[in-house]
Amino acid sequence: MKNKLLGLLAILFFLFSFVIFFKGLDKPTIYTPELQKNISLTNFEAKEFFSDQKINSNELFTKSNFYLVNIWSS
């Protein structure tokens, strides 16, 4: 009886895993960042890489036509 129950539990567990893997095959593996809206940006000051000039984020983000690119790698 104990063995049958264990066997049944194992089969149920693997059935569940099968369904998850099956559904997982349809999921795209390409990383697409989430769209964030209406988030206020923190002010910061940084040194420009090539010219060593100091830049303030206020000067950069004066209008709404800019992109924030999330560079992601693994």
Residues forming contacts to another protein in the complex (CB under 8 A) are 3-4, 6-7, 10-11, 14, 18, 20-27, 29, 31, 49-50, 74
Q: How far is the CB of 68 from another protein (least distance, A)?
A: 19
Judge whether 14 and 25 are in contact, CB under 8 Å: no
Q: How far is the CB of 10 from another protein (least distance, A)?
A: 5
Q: How far is the CB of 55 from another protein (least distance, A)?
A: 17
Long-range contacts of 69-73 (CB under 8 A, 24+ apart): 70/33, 72/31, 72/33
